[in-house]
Amino acid sequence: MDARCIWLTGLSAAGKSTIARQLAELWDGPCVVLDGDEIRQGLCSDLGFSPEDRDENIRRISEVARLFVNSGTTAICAFISPYSDARQRARARFSDGQFVLVHVDCPLDVCRERDPKGLYARAFAGELPGFTGVDAPYERPAADIVVQTHETTPEDCARLILSQL
């Protein structure tokens, strides 16, 4: 399979990182997982969560992903990426067919119940202003592929993505 950027977008705790790792295990060929939490600790540690910083975060990640794709390695990217414009700019960095946008769709109440890092509890308590899906927007994407993580296991979501590529 040709190298491409598979961009997983969705709310915090929707299952993006878990699906990205499952997809990498199933991928036939060289691939790398670029995860939002990990990137925020290094490459983008100087950025906050303002709309401008979120856009810059996505710009940097899409450039790194493009470098991987151009070298023949599939980049599986797991990022909230809440803004449609930033996702479109990310797509524009790739040739036709190289960028696949996957919406990891999960209702807010389910994400809030999962809350593995306690972020929703803090956001609803007012401790994390600007939290996506709570008091900051998440613009639902016009995605190439949609997976419903409240109805399907992460492995089955990864298999569904592969089947639709």
Kindly list the catalytic residues: 81
Task: Report phi then psi at 5, rounded to 5.
Answer: -105, 120
Two tokens at 75?
């980049």
Residue where the block lists tokens 């990217």: 77
Strands (E), the chain: 5-9, 31-35, 74-78, 99-105, 145-148
Question: CA-CA distance, 18 to 16, in Å (whole number)?
Answer: 6
Question: CA-CA distance, 137 to 144, in Å (whole number)?
Answer: 21
What angle, 0 to 180 degrees and rounded to 10, lies between the N-to-C axes of helices 84-92 and 51-70?
Answer: 20
Contacts with 82 (C-beta within 8 Å, 6 or more apart), sequence order: 9, 54, 132, 136, 137, 138, 139
